[in-house]
């Protein structure tokens, strides 16, 4: 019987630890600094970048009036960007990069499950008065979005736009014009 009690006690401790971690997903200290290796998975809007390869730094401010400054960013295909995201407000905010469709779907989930745990390389959860970072390589051209997906923030208009210009087409166009038949 002692073995069973010990197993049940250990299971209870693990269950409480997991539940506590899930509840802290958007807590004051959650994700203030990312630990462990970054998972590099190709997304429609790019792939996680290496900090040493960053070619540009973009400073972004998040406020409790549910706005980002700047809310429009222009980049070139191939840029690896270090986003330095400062929360100047008094509540938790996050900076999440994606397509409009992906952000719409994630925002709807956050309304249903506000304490949902998630930690992807294209997300920074930033407690009040703190700074977070994302390094992202925009290896695909197009129009992408960023948003705060904390329940209600997205719906209040806490969104922005990233335009990534295709560089290969411009280079190919100039090269073709200078060739002689």
| Alpha-carbon gap, residue 71 to 161, rounded angstroms | 6
* CATH code assigned at 30: 2.60.40.420
pLDDT, tens digit, for every residue of 122-155? 999 999 999 999 999 999 999 999 999 999 999 9
Q: What local confidence, expressed as pLDDT, does residue 53 receive?
A: 94
Q: What local confidence, expressed as pLDDT, does residue 26 receive?
A: 42
pLDDT, tens digit, for every residue of 17-73? 333 333 334 443 334 444 456 678 889 999 999 999 999 999 999 999 999 999 999
DSSP output for the chain: -HHHHHHHHHHHHHHHHHHHHHHGGGSTTTTSS--SPPP---BTTBEE--GGG--EEEEEEEETTTEEES-EEEEETT-EEEEEEEE-SSS-EEEEEE-HHHHHHHHHHHHH-TT-----TTEEEE-TT-EEEEEEE--S-EEEEEE--STTTTTTT-EEEEEEE-HHHHHHHHHHHH---
Q: What local confidence, expressed as pLDDT, does residue 119 receive?
A: 79
Residue-range definition of the domain harbouring residue 171: 2-178
Domain count across the chain: 1
């Amino acid at each position: 019987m002692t073995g069973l009690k010990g197993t049940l006690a250990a299971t209870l401790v693990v269950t409480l630890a997991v539940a506590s971690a899930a509840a802290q997903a958007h807590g004051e200290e959650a994700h203030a600094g990312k630990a462990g290796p970054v998972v590099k998975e190709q997304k429609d809007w790019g792939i996680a970048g290496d900090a040493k390869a960053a070619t540009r730094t973009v400073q972004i401010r998040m406020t409790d009036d549910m706005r980002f400054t700047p809310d429009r960013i222009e980049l070139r295909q191939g840029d690896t960007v270090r986003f330095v995201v400062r929360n100047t407000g008094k509540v938790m905010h996050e900076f999440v990069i994606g397509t409009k469709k992906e952000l719409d779907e994630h925002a709807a989930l956050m309304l249903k499950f506000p304490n949902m745990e998630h930690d992807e390389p294209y997300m920074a959860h930033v407690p009040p008065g703190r700074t977070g970072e994302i390094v992202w390589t925009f290896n695909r051209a197009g129009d992408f979005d960023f948003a705060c997906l904390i329940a209600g923030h997205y719906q209040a208009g806490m969104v922005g736009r990233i335009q990534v210009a295709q560089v290969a087409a411009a280079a190919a166009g100039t090269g073709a014009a200078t060739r002689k038949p």
